[in-house]
Structure 1
Amino acid sequence: MQFSENWLRTFVSPALDSEALGHLLTMAGLEVEEADPLAPPFSSVVVARIVETDKHPNADKLKVCKVDAGQGEPLQIVCGAPNAAAGMLVPCALVGAVLPGGFAIKAAKLRGVESFGMLCSARELGLSEDHGGLLALPEGLEVGQDVRAALGLDDIRFTIKLTPNRADCLSLAGVAREVAALTDAPLALPAIEAVAPAIDARRAIVLDAPEACPRYCGRVLRGVDARAATPEWMKQRLQASGVRAISALVDVTNYVMMELGQPLHAFDNTKLQGAIHVRHPRAGETVRLLNEQTVTPAADTLLIADEACALALAGVMGGEESGITLDTTEVFLESAFFAPAAIAGRARAFGFSSDASHRFERGVDFELARTAIERATRLILDLCGGEAGPVEDAVSPQHLPARPGVRLRPARARRVLGVDLDDDTIAALLARVHLPVRRVDGDFLVTPPSFRFDIEIEEDLIEEVARLYGYDNIPAVPPRGDLCMLERSESSRNAWDVRHLLAGRDYQEVVNFSFVDAAWERDFCANPDPIRLANPIASQMNVMRSSLIPGLAANVLVNRNRQQDRVRVFEIGRCFERKADGEPVAGFHQPLRVAALATGSAVREQWGTPARQVDFYDVKGDLEALFAPGELSFESLSHPALHPGRAATVLFQGRRVGILGELHPVWVQRYDLGSAPVAFEVDLDAVLHAALPAYREISRQPAVIRDLALVVAQEVSAARVVEVLRTAAPAIVREIGLFDVYQGKGIEPEKKSLAFRVLMQDTQRTLEDAEVEQAVEALVRQAETTLGARLRG
């Protein structure tokens, strides 16, 4: 919404400068986006009349003009404008004038002829980009008068950004009401009197869709002169409001819309046939609009039509065939109220917008239609002449908007605002914005006026009190609360500890969407019935994830598309699973998990380490570091996302907590993931409850190391052997670790040799050979008894 400050001050003129006025509007919720002068600064430019012009003796394209600039004697000025002619009123920059950009005017000689000033185009004054000739000023201006004063250029154009609920401020009258309420300055809206009909010219109006258009006013005017000139004051106000002047009849409808907020439309009455109908379209009906666009309106679009055809899109744009021209002598003037729901979105559906639709879809005062048509009638008769018929006012009262009273509890207003306003002050503030207050059982009952569509609930009234009291006057009291800082136990971890640990092992954290493509969920999770989103933000993000691994795989794809083959990423986030049918409460599980994925080279490229691809055991080591000093165990696993034979279930303290493995070759190839990524995913809760490292006394006694090579069946895992050995290990055994696996000569095909290093030590004494041998024998015996192992010779 744009408007001229000078125009606004004809309605209300508080004792505020332009900057203070803009701040006042912004703090009242009418945000001022821009406040620009209508014209850039320039000085000593006056209204002048060209008395005569002669051809320049030494230049074909120059003229020597005698100019009356109100200085007594005519000035001689050399001018090159093609439209310079005797009798024109034009801007004249006198010697000493400074034009926009700091251009100073001096007396000069042009091709041997003296020139004492400069005749200006609109571009040279910074008023527009038009530089095709001199700016022709309207007749009636006083010669010698300062151009800035003559054209009203010492003005500010305000551009305010309105929220959709404040349609009442899409007019000068609406903004003026606000300023008057905020400053207590007197409000002087234009006095509008009914125009007595001089002729009995009528056109019937039929409301075929009263729920969409409960009020429609129309009036016939005859004998108008459409070629009459629009007065300069009206042009200036329209242009300052961002509206282009077209013709007197069109300019009047735009002027009333900007002044009062009521869109109007003028039809050529001689092109209409029979009654005016406000209806929905018939099947296949089209309308050719004023913008030369032919549209086929949808069934719920409202039309203005006569007995023969559709004339206009109601509340949006008029039709070309019934539009007024410079030859129009009879006008049918329309002023109506359309329900916002009937207009909202209709213009955008056809790919354009209009000032009328912008207002109607937000809500126009349903009591304003008749007042606006009277105002427009008076202006048309004054400017274009003619005679007016009576106003036809078709109304469906039961379909007009209801204005029920809204209850306001003063005590609640005080509590919400944090300001101790007494009841009389609250009532006085509301009365300033034309909200009548009635006392009911200690509360206020406020009936909103017809132009305030935004007053519906108690909070709306509290907001009004806050605006009028002044947001700047409401103290900014910080919230207070007594909080007890809980001690963080040193015996537990949190998610940030996990993040730091993984970052320390060269992983980068990612945060992926919780919703994924259904195809990825099906492939990586074998989930045929995922939790679907009712309103996905994109077609490829239509289901909730049940695993973090697909998102990490997608990160690999994004990096590979940017020539980044080494990827190490992790994520901590929720997954979403349906609860089983037998569970007591229906709904969804939302477990928190941590997952990591690595692909590409095991280490960054360097000269000191041979290049190799990351493998299962690299990632397994990273996973075990998460639970250290706790120990994990692993069992073979068949999983849709993982490679058969290179996947394992992760067990912690005998409980399944996650999975580990290389991604399945099918998905690696299908999604172009390069070298097979290795990933793990475990419950975050299990990681957080894993024991933290604890201090253990460092022995000063020498350690004894023995190597045991045990031959076991192929299906026996090294982890299982370690588990069995630890059950028989005496207290002096500190560590048992696998260091070699052998298959080949000397070992049966169905067997394998696993070599373990056993470290034994006591903190108080040196171990004797006998007890070391006894411990080794106990370990071997346990392996033979439990696993059928034998000591390799």
Structure 2
Amino acid sequence: MKFSEKWLREWVSPDLSSQELMDQITMAGLEVDGFEPVAGSFEGVVVGQIVSAEQHPNADKLRVCQVTDGVDQFQVVCGAANARAGIKVAFAKVGAVLPGNFKIKKAKLRQVESLGMLCSEKELELSDNHDGIMELSESLELGESLKQALGLNDISIEVDLTPNRADCLSIAGLAREVGALNNVKVMVPSIGQVEPEIDDEFPIVVEDWEGCPRYLGRVVRGVNISAETPLWMQERLRRSGVRTIDPVVDVTNYVMLELGQPLHGFDLDVLRDKIIVRQSKAGEEIVLLDGSKVELSDGTLLIADASGPLAIAGIMGGAHSGVTATTQNVFLEAAFFDPIRIAGKARSYGLHTDASHRFERGVDYKLSFQAMERATELLISICGGQAGPVSVIENIDSLPKKELITLPLVKVEQVLGIQLPDDNVEQILVGLGLEVIKKEGRVLTLKAPSFRFDITITEDLIEEIARVHGYNNIPVTYPVSGLEMPALKEADISHRVIKNSLVSLGMQEIVTYSFLDRKTQSLFESELEPVALANPISEDLAVMRTSLIPNLVKTLSYNINRQQERIRLFETGLSFINTNDGLLQNQKLAGLIYGDRYPKNWLATEEVDFYDLKSIVETVLALAPGKQCVFEPGQIEFLHPGQTAFIRCDDDQIIGYLGLVHPSIRKTLGLKKGVFVFELDMSFFNSTRIPEFSELSRYPETSRDIAVIVSDDLPVGELLKAVDEAAGDYLKDKFVFDVYKGKGIDLHRKSVALGLTWQHPSRTLNDEEINGWMNAVIDILSKRFEAKLRG
């Protein structure tokens, strides 16, 4: 918003320089974007009047004007089309200096002497208007310095307000703020109530109370639309970045800038039957004041009459019903519109106006009465006319409600770290327009004013106190806290250790969003309904991930498309699953390998397989001492049914899985090689067994091998588990060193060769003991799995 410093100082004028005032406004959170003089630097320009204007004898486009400054008369040659007798003009005498250090001298134009220059607004850097010479108000005194006459010793200040401070989008709001910051009284202009001179009213019907809880209308008859807008109003509008149009529009714009309430003036004579505030129907059209034709969507808040739409409520009026040069009777509108309804619709039509800028942020719902009286008063003083009574149509229940807010003063001290006198706190809040409802000890109960939509809780009040007191007046204090190191559970394996282990295995960590697109989610887990975001950043990030695998595979595709052929990735993060008990969030670790087993070299290359991934997973699981895990065949929707395994832990709980991504998914994503993935529940690495010291045995190990023939579909892990049960307490190691299928063995059976090692901590084991354990192993394998010794 742009505003004139002089205009603001008519409301409130603290003892501050212009720069100090701007600095103070900025520090209060109303950032000053910039400022500029309201006119260029010039000297020697006075108010003059053209006495006569004759055609130049030697040039068709020039005129010879006789100009007076009230004392002397000067001959000036001028090329402006609007140069004519009787008008008052900006007259630069000989010796005057215009912006850009342009000096006015005596001159001859086509053999005719010229003693000065008649200036346009652009030549004085008042605006970009260069259509003709500047025409001044008849009320100005001849010979008076133009700077003095127009009050040009002024600056236009532009503030960049955050969306929550719509209350400062007016001189009244800014003055209230500056008054509170300096504890200076605000001199509010007297706004009287205009007594109706006629009984005329125009019917109003509000159909959409939620969109428009309050609507005011007033008939003003007999206005002189050709009347000139007063110079003081023109200048205030210009310095606020608003151009002058006609008295009705100028008055509504002026009241909007002064008080913050947008208004609109309709040509009463083109309105039909009644004003209707309603929602639009799809397909309705309206031609707006800027000449653009808009096809309305369903549900747009409209001001209409019996013939159709007149304006898009709170955004822009229609050309058909707007005030024109022939207007004699005006219907003034002042209303409160729901901010959400205006914000959404203004953007949907690609529109942004001064009115919508205010309404979508929130306009004081009590302001419309005062604004209507002010606009009527100004309009009649400029254009004449007779005003009717104000028609008020409202639904109190639909207007915003202001709840009481409790402020314990001790909390102010706790949050800000400073002690302010109670009276000062109350003075600040009252100065900002808050009403003290109750005061009990050091607890205030307050009610926010109708113009502050952003004050709803105690913390808002504390923020206002800090802002007005001055952030720079709050002393710097440093937080004090103990330097105790947090206790770390030795039984918990830190994430850093796990990540470092994976990095040492050639893996690279990635970090992806916790969201993904619904299509990718359904590709991996079609039967699991993900949590949908209410307001997603984009369609590609519309649902919460239920697994880390899909984003890993998407990252793989991204890298493959950039000529990466050997990829090892892992990620840690949360997964999100809807359950009957609410949202379940689990910390996961997931990894992926793809491409060749080794980096490119002169040897033959081999692609990674299931066992490459399994070795990585086993290395990570080994970081949790005391926990034993087994791999069991399983089936998961997005993994190959023949190369999928669940990971089962000591307590018989499945803590993860690994496998080959299903060929159908590979085909969909255009992946040429096998993609092997794993996912683990990170809770597995909590509460592990703390390692204990035990002395190394000095006695020899004893090893025996055994080969048994078992069913082809028997997992080797079951064999090893049975060996553990039967091989005694001193079994040190067991492992598979051969699996054979083929000649000499039944088609549906296989030979598994096991290596077993025993060692006693305090003596040498004898053959009798070893033979006893071996017999026990053979016996349990035979009974449980029908295993037979291979000859």
TM-score range, shorter chain: 0.7 to 0.9
For 1:625, the equivalent position in structure 2 comes to: 619
Cα deviation code 1:77-122 (max 9, x no counterpart): 999x88697989568699996956xx88799999999999999876
For residues 191-210 of structure 1, what are the structure 2 equivalents within 5 Å? 191-195=190-194, 200=198, 202-209=200-207
For 1:175, the equivalent position in structure 2 comes to: 174
Cα deviation code 1:157-181 (max 9, x no counterpart): 22231433x4432211121122112
For 1:379, the equivalent position in structure 2 comes to: 378
Output the CA distance in 1 between the equivalents of 2:187 and 2:213: 31
For residues 565-644 of structure 1, what are the structure 2 equivalents within 5 Å? 565-577=565-577, 586-587=581-582, 589-605=584-600, 607=601, 609-628=603-622, 632-644=629-641
Q: 1:289 to 1:756 in 2, by over 3 A?
A: same
For residues 444-455 of structure 1, what are the structure 2 equivalents within 5 Å? 444=444, 446=446, 451-452=451-452
For residues 277-316 of structure 1, what are the structure 2 equivalents within 5 Å? 287-292=286-291, 293-296=293-296, 298=298, 301-305=301-305, 311-316=310-315
Output the CA distance in 2 between the equivalents of 1:691 and 1:634: 21
Q: 1:302 to 1:749 in 2, by over 3 A?
A: closer
Output the CA distance in 1 between the equivalents of 2:449 and 2:590: 60
> Which deviates more from structure 2 when the two are superposed, residues 370-379 or residues 725-734?
725-734
Aligned-pair distance for 1:596? Answer: 1.0
The code of the aligned residue for 1:626 comes to V
Aligned-pair distance for 1:339? Answer: 5.8
For 1:431, the equivalent position in structure 2 comes to: 430
Aligned-pair distance for 1:408? Answer: 4.7
For 2:265, the equivalent position in structure 1 comes to: 266
For 1:583, the equivalent position in structure 2 comes to: none
Q: 1:108 to 1:375 in 2, by over 3 A?
A: closer
Aligned-pair distance for 1:255? Answer: 0.8
Give the root-mean-square deviation of aligned CA atoms. 5.2
The code of the aligned residue for 1:472 comes to N
Task: Please give the TM-score of this superposition, normalised by the length of structure 2.
Answer: 0.79
Contact 2:217–2:390, Cα closer than 8 Å, also in 1: yes
SS in 1 for 2:511: coil
Aligned-pair distance for 1:598? Answer: 0.7
Q: 1:747 to 1:208 in 2, by over 3 A?
A: closer
SS in 1 for 2:11: coil
Output the CA distance in 1 between the equivalents of 2:264 and 2:668: 62
The code of the aligned residue for 2:590 comes to A
SS in 1 for 2:178: helix
The code of the aligned residue for 1:16 comes to L
SS in 2 for 1:575: strand
Aligned-pair distance for 1:501? Answer: 1.2
Output the CA distance in 2 between the equivalents of 1:333 and 1:220: 8
Q: 1:756 to 1:127 in 2, by over 3 A?
A: farther
Cα deviation code 1:23-45 (max 9, x no counterpart): 3223434x225122146975668
Q: 1:503 to 1:441 in 2, by over 3 A?
A: same
Aligned-pair distance for 1:599? Answer: 0.8
SS in 2 for 1:220: strand
For 1:218, the equivalent position in structure 2 comes to: 218
Contact 2:531–2:576, Cα closer than 8 Å, also in 1: no
> Which deviates more from structure 2 when the two are superposed, residues 709-718 or residues 559-568?
709-718
Q: 1:234 to 1:782 in 2, by over 3 A?
A: same
Cα deviation code 1:718-755 (max 9, x no counterpart): 65666666778799986655555555667776665666
Aligned-pair distance for 1:621? Answer: 1.1
Cα deviation code 1:234-277 (max 9, x no counterpart): 23322332322222321121111111222222222333455655
Contact 1:195–1:378, Cα closer than 8 Å, also in 2: yes
> Which deviates more from structure 2 when the two are superposed, residues 246-255 or residues 314-323?
314-323
Output the CA distance in 2 between the equivalents of 1:567 and 1:672: 16
Output the CA distance in 2 between the equivalents of 1:685 and 1:675: 32
The code of the aligned residue for 2:22 comes to G
Output the CA distance in 2 between the equivalents of 1:201 and 1:25: 46
For 1:677, the equivalent position in structure 2 comes to: 675
SS in 2 for 1:437: strand
For 1:5, the equivalent position in structure 2 comes to: 5
Cα deviation code 1:589-623 (max 9, x no counterpart): 54333221111122333x35543211112111111
Output the CA distance in 2 between the equivalents of 1:449 and 1:726: 78
Output the CA distance in 1 between the equivalents of 2:635 and 2:340: 57
Contact 1:289–1:317, Cα closer than 8 Å, also in 2: yes
The code of the aligned residue for 1:628 comes to A
1:391 to 385, 389, 392: 389
Contact 1:591–1:683, Cα closer than 8 Å, also in 2: yes
Cα deviation code 1:646-703 (max 9, x no counterpart): 22232344734322221222222233232111112222222445568888878999x9
For residues 63-82 of structure 1, what are the structure 2 equivalents within 5 Å? none
> Which deviates more from structure 2 when the two are superposed, residues 291-300 or residues 154-163?
291-300
For residues 477-488 of structure 1, what are the structure 2 equivalents within 5 Å? 477-480=477-480, 484-488=484-488
Output the CA distance in 2 between the equivalents of 1:687 and 1:297: 57
For residues 95-106 of structure 1, what are the structure 2 equivalents within 5 Å? none
For 2:33, the equivalent position in structure 1 comes to: 34
For residues 694-773 of structure 1, what are the structure 2 equivalents within 5 Å? 710=707, 712-713=709-710, 714-715=712-713, 738=736
For residues 396-411 of structure 1, what are the structure 2 equivalents within 5 Å? 408-411=407-410
Q: 1:783 to 1:451 in 2, by over 3 A?
A: closer
Q: 1:112 to 1:448 in 2, by over 3 A?
A: closer
For residues 313-462 of structure 1, what are the structure 2 equivalents within 5 Å? 313-338=312-337, 345-384=344-383, 386-394=384-392, 408-437=407-436, 439=438, 441-442=440-441, 444=444, 446=446, 451-452=451-452, 459-462=459-462
Contact 2:93–2:115, Cα closer than 8 Å, also in 1: no
Q: Paired residues, what number?
A: 767
Aligned-pair distance for 1:10? Answer: 1.9
Output the CA distance in 2 between the equivalents of 1:729 and 1:332: 102
The code of the aligned residue for 2:432 comes to V
The code of the aligned residue for 1:625 comes to T
SS in 2 for 1:228: coil
Aligned-pair distance for 1:376? Answer: 2.7
Cα deviation code 1:175-200 (max 9, x no counterpart): 11221122123422222334556x53
The code of the aligned residue for 1:639 comes to I
The code of the aligned residue for 1:599 comes to Y
SS in 1 for 2:220: strand
For 2:229, the equivalent position in structure 1 comes to: 230
Q: 1:645 to 1:196 in 2, by over 3 A?
A: closer
SS in 2 for 1:506: coil
> Which deviates more from structure 2 when the two are superposed, residues 200-209 or residues 231-240?
200-209
Task: Please give the TM-score of this superposition, normalised by the length of structure 1.
Answer: 0.78
Contact 1:256–1:376, Cα closer than 8 Å, also in 2: yes
SS in 2 for 1:574: strand
Contact 2:204–2:393, Cα closer than 8 Å, also in 1: no
Q: 1:679 to 1:238 in 2, by over 3 A?
A: same
For 1:556, the equivalent position in structure 2 comes to: 556
Cα deviation code 1:193-230 (max 9, x no counterpart): 34556x53623444545953445241313151x23333
SS in 1 for 2:289: coil
Consecutive unaligned residues of structure 1, counting only runs of 5 or more, are 581-585
Contact 1:44–1:146, Cα closer than 8 Å, also in 2: no
